[in-house]
Amino acid sequence: MQRFLRYLCEEMFAGRGSLLKEYSIALGVFDKPQDFDPGTSATVRVEAGRLRRLLTSYQINHGQSDTIQIIIPKGGYVPSFQRKTEQSEIVERDDDAPAKAATPDLPSHMELRRVTVLSCSFRLRGISQLTAEFLEEFDRFHAYFSSIVTQLGGVMENSATARLTVYFGWPTSLEDASGRAMTAATEIIAYARREHGGNCEVRVAIDTGRVLSRPCLEKPLILGEVPTIALQIVDHTPCNAILVSEETRQHSRTAFETIPAGAIEGEDGHQILLWRLLSPRSTTCFLAKQDAPSADIIGRGAELDLLGNRWLLASAGEGQSVIVEGEAGIGKSCLSEALIKRLRPRGYQIRLQCSAHHSNSALYPVIQILRRLLAGNDPSSAVLGRFLERVGLDGPINRALLQTLLAQADVDENMGGILPSASEKKEKTLQLLIAILSALCNRRPVILLVEDIHWADPTTLELIGFAASACQDLRLYLLMTGRSGCAALFGPAQPVTVLRLTRLSRQDCSRMIDGIAGDAALPIPTRDTIIDKADGVPLYLEELTKLLLAQNVGKGDLSTVPDSLNDLLASQLGCMGFARRVAQVASIIGRDFPGEILKALVSDEDQLVAAAIDQLLAAGILTRGRSNGKGRYAFRHALLRDAAYTSMMDADRQDLHSRTADMLVDYFPEIAADHPEVIAGHMRHAGRFDEAVSFWLDAGRKAAQRYALAEASANYRAAIETLALISPSIGRSERELDALLELGATVREAEGYYAPDLKQIYERAHLLAKEVGRPEALAASLHGLWTVAAGRGRWKHADLLAIEFDQFIHSLGPNARLEAEGGRLLGAGAAFRGDFAAARTHFERVVAVYDPAQHGRSFGYDPGAASTAYLSWVHWHTGNPDQGRREAERALAMAEALGHPPTLSLVLVWLLFHAVCERDYDRIRSYNDRLQKLCSQQLCRFWQPFGRACLSWASFHSTRDPTHLDQLLVHTKAFSELYLTSCLHLLAADICDQMGLYDKGLHHAGLAATFMAEHDEGIWEAEYWRLTGQLHARWGPDKSEAQRCLEQALAIARQQNAVMLEQRAVASLKALSGADIGLVA
């Protein structure tokens, strides 16, 4: 940002302000290439938005005493400098003339008053109003009605009909007039049911609004539309039900349980939104109607008890990890909420809400909760220091790590040198987060609730996995909710209890209907229809019950009941009027969203939007954000968001996505900068494919820089999929080529050479590189194809590709970096074929031309460190063990200095193999410990089985425990990198030889031979013949076969110039004629 601002100011002062355009800024500030296209990349716009926000933040927090303010105008980049006195004068002039609300001129004897009007009609089924029986019952009803409304402060209008009208708030104002009217209505309906059962038809309607009145008269004189609307609503009210207007509901707030009941058209044509009043007390629809605050949720008593018992264990120091899984709408979140309400735990409650829109945004839910706790995207160092000090973790590195995480960008130049490399930064950040969690657990028990874990980004899953592994020794209750099957996200070694929720029984469904309907009776056929349709899914049952209550669907009128949950939720939204449109716009943003973005997108007055949000909250469609700070909202369930989203026409949905993308880029640049994948998604749905690709590529690079490799891979793939929607052109081919090469490098780092689709990635990249004529890209694709062949152990094919790569790079002219890569490929092929002399020549050539400052890891691994690690065991094979050890030490030091986990992991693997060759069991354990730790913290876990297999072999030789053989075989099977697999089989044959397992030893030696034949691998061909001969010599009946095998081992070792293997073969031949036939190194 400093460089950006300095560039803008210097260009303006130099008289080049007119040249400040997106293109010139991209090249001058952000080092973009000459072919940068502002039309397909919003980098400059996003960063300019961030700069404006930072300037505003500076003025508020630090620049109050400055006399000059720098302003970057929206839509331009030429800075202006304004004296603050000019601004203050403007503000003062604005304050001197405040806007006044328009008030109509009223006669002195009239006044404006807010009044709530209750209108009630009374009928008896089968009894005419012209009979004495009806008059007697009406008088009784009228007497009760009068007593209730009088007690609550209402004034009845004298009427000569069976329709009764009451005014609340006249002639004197009443506190909570709407609530009083609604309380009276519920009492009246209850009385009618109690006294007359099903023979009485009472309808109550309530409206609230401003009227003109003359309070001096004994008889109320009310002028206005409120009484008329109340009468109009009565005509639409179901039997024995209460309908209230939107304004009445707003004034009663949350004192009553209401559900949407459609709308009617007023006399002036405007829509009047109606709500059906269910209960005078707020109830939770999944809960039974009981007075006890700890009421069990229906049908989940056993599950709630299990979760409660786990909390008791966790709070006592035996940490617990539980995942509650089930289908959508089954009640996972409701169960976790009920648990927290029942326990009322004295400790910390931390909620992480995963998001479908951010499933490729590393640590998204963690960042959101930290930002809420630490006051924003970029809290000051002092704020971070106080927080870290409270948990005993304050320090410059931890401050820098946390500040970088929250800002989603590297901290400014003042922090230079403090932070480690990107890979170490990710590792240390995860360690810091676990340390913070542990510190909190040491102070008090912690409930960590992770909701919708099936949408968690890979890095958050990694963090949760660490927490699950660590929680056994902490006062931590890790409670997760997710869709069916999400328990598979955790490995069998992680101690996670899985609680699978099933559908409710019919009896539980019936109890749940009672809890929702309250005093509103539902006919038996309607109840049966609800239970049959819902089929035990609580959300479906809840929403269907509400819908039928609102529509008053009774016996014989069930044909309109929606057939699916999505149709049902769409029907619920359909009766919400303008609020439906607001819900649709909100669904474009995501399941949870800031209110300011929603209001900015809806092209109506803020008051209307606020009212619509209030209606959606009241209807239970939206909830207020809990963990993401003030001013945030969320759809109560993901299915509600889906229903709102799918209820729009395609063109409307596309337009909203486009507007959302532009608004986020221009007015919320921090979102565009932190989460370019979100912008990309909106642009993809808007049909703006070129721009979407740029944002996805940006997201992939940002994730790769943070070493969030799984997220990076997903974003690169999204870019490639979107490019397929663009018409073919050279430009599209070049962008696809760049994306493929970046994806290939990311996949290799994350999954290894044996990744399933790596071959298709590089074959496509090779084709495109030829098509567009880019030599460097062609070299990169050839290198990638070599990794595919090597990863699958196809060494003949790999050698052909290495030769083609070497010939091609030499045709380009002198290039030490490419020559180093070519030498590494040729050396690796020679080593695995068993041509150790040629391999040594190639690797020594790499070391000679290698320059760490210029070469680096442009092809995935650092060629210098990798070649030096190869040399360690190549020198051993060729009879130079001392030189091999020196090369091993040098390779490890080089890899550690680079700070690149993939290179370090590769070096540790080759050093492990070197230690196996030397039979140095202590070094095997040491290298494996480092490899396992590195792989568990990063994503290069494909190496872990190899290290564990070597450790099992070393452990057997140290302990003679036969179980290590079984462990070695398990790890060999798990090792996906096919090269070196023959060596692992030979290690198993060696253990069998030591244990006297003749047939099993020959079997594993045979597997090694088959592998070597199929994969053209000769690295330990001599060792295969020696071990086979030794098995025959020690345990077999035919000593002549042993002699033949050992002679073959000797011949192959000499042919390969494998001096150390030759010495082993000679020793075994000498031992063949003696009594002690041991394995001599």
**Three-state SS at 592:** strand
Q: What is the pLDDT of residue 838?
A: 94
Task: Using alpha carbons, list the distances in angstroms from residue 239 to 166, 234, 250, 374, 736.
Answer: 19, 10, 24, 53, 65
Could you tell me if 417 and 445 lie in one domain?
Answer: yes
Could you tell me if 183 and 236 lie in one domain?
Answer: yes
Contacts of 1034 (CB under 8 A, 6+ apart): 993, 996, 1077
Q: Are 225 and 512 in contact (CB under 8 A)?
A: no
Question: What's the pLDDT band for 347 if we cut at 50, 70, 90?
Answer: confident
Mean pLDDT of the chain: 84
Number of domains in the chain: 5
Residue 612 lies in a domain: no
**Mean of pLDDT values over 856-863:** 78
Buried b / exposed e along 318-356 (16+ C-beta atoms within 10 A) = ebbbbbbbbbebbbbbbbbbbbbebbebebbebbbbbbe
Could you tell me if 59 and 115 lie in one domain?
Answer: no
Q: Where are the beta strands (DSSP E) in 987-1033?
A: none
Q: What is the pLDDT of residue 216?
A: 55
Residue 574 lies in a domain: no
Listed residues 485, 500, 515: the one ending a domain: 500
**Mean of pLDDT values over 614-628:** 76
Query: Domain residues for 149?
Result: 111-279
Whole-prediction pTM value?
Answer: 0.73
Q: Are 484 and 500 in contact (CB under 8 A)?
A: yes
Q: Residue 835 sits in a domain of what CATH number?
A: 1.25.40.10
Could you tell me if 271 and 172 lie in one domain?
Answer: yes
In the predicted structure, residue 563 carries a pLDDT above the cut 90? no
Q: Which of 135-144, 327-336, 339-348, 751-760 is the least confident region?
A: 339-348
Residue 613 lies in a domain: no
In the predicted structure, residue 554 carries a pLDDT above the cut 70? no
Q: Residue 404 sits in a domain of what CATH number?
A: 3.40.50.300
In the predicted structure, residue 218 carries a pLDDT above the cut 60? no
Question: Which tens digits make up the pLDDT trace of 220-264?
Answer: 577 888 898 999 999 888 888 899 998 888 887 556 878 888 788
Listed residues 500, 535, 559: the one ending a domain: 500
Residue 552 lies in a domain: no
Q: What is the pLDDT of residue 290?
A: 33
In the predicted structure, residue 287 carries a pLDDT above the cut 50? no
CA distance 800 to 791: 15
Query: In this predicted model, which residue has the larger pLDDT, 121 or 1080?
Result: 121
Could you tell me if 257 and 336 lie in one domain?
Answer: no
Residue 638 lies in a domain: no
**Three-state SS at 633:** strand
Could you tell me if 70 and 132 lie in one domain?
Answer: no
Question: What's the pLDDT band for 285 if we cut at 50, 70, 90?
Answer: very low
Q: What is the pLDDT of residue 244?
A: 93
State residue 17 phi and psi, 5-degree precision: -60, -35
Question: Which tens digits make up the pLDDT trace of 176-212?
Answer: 788 889 989 988 988 888 888 778 889 999 999 888 8
Could you tell me if 194 and 332 lie in one domain?
Answer: no
Contacts of 568 (CB under 8 A, 6+ apart): 540, 543, 544, 547, 562
Q: Which of 9-23, 408-422, 676-690 is the least confident region?
A: 408-422
Could you tell me if 80 and 122 lie in one domain?
Answer: no
Q: What is the pLDDT of residue 990?
A: 95
Residue 378 lies in a domain: yes
Task: Using alpha carbons, list the distances in angstroms from residue 991 to 98, 988, 995, 998.
Answer: 91, 5, 6, 10
Question: What's the pLDDT band for 88 if we cut at 50, 70, 90?
Answer: very low
**Mean of pLDDT values over 793-810:** 91
Residue pointed to by tokens 């819900």: 583
Question: Which tens digits make up the pLDDT trace of 739-770?
Answer: 999 999 888 888 877 788 899 999 999 999 99
Could you tell me if 455 and 325 lie in one domain?
Answer: yes
CA 616 from centroid of its chain's CA atoms: 25
**CA neighbours closer than 13 Å in the CB half-sphere of residue 589:** 24
Listed residues 92, 123, 154: the one ending a domain: 92
Could you tell me if 30 and 159 lie in one domain?
Answer: no
Q: Residue 1004 sits in a domain of what CATH number?
A: 1.25.40
**Mean of pLDDT values over 1008-1030:** 92
Nearest to 8 by CA among 77, 60, 97: 77
Could you tell me if 87 and 162 lie in one domain?
Answer: no
Q: Residue 193 sits in a domain of what CATH number?
A: 3.30.70.1230
Q: What is the pLDDT of residue 378?
A: 59
Query: In this predicted model, which residue has the larger pLDDT, 85 or 809?
Result: 809
Residue 1019 lies in a domain: yes
Could you tell me if 324 and 365 lie in one domain?
Answer: yes
Question: Which tens digits make up the pLDDT trace of 966-994?
Answer: 999 999 998 866 778 899 999 999 999 99
Q: What is the pLDDT of residue 129?
A: 83
Residue 97 lies in a domain: no
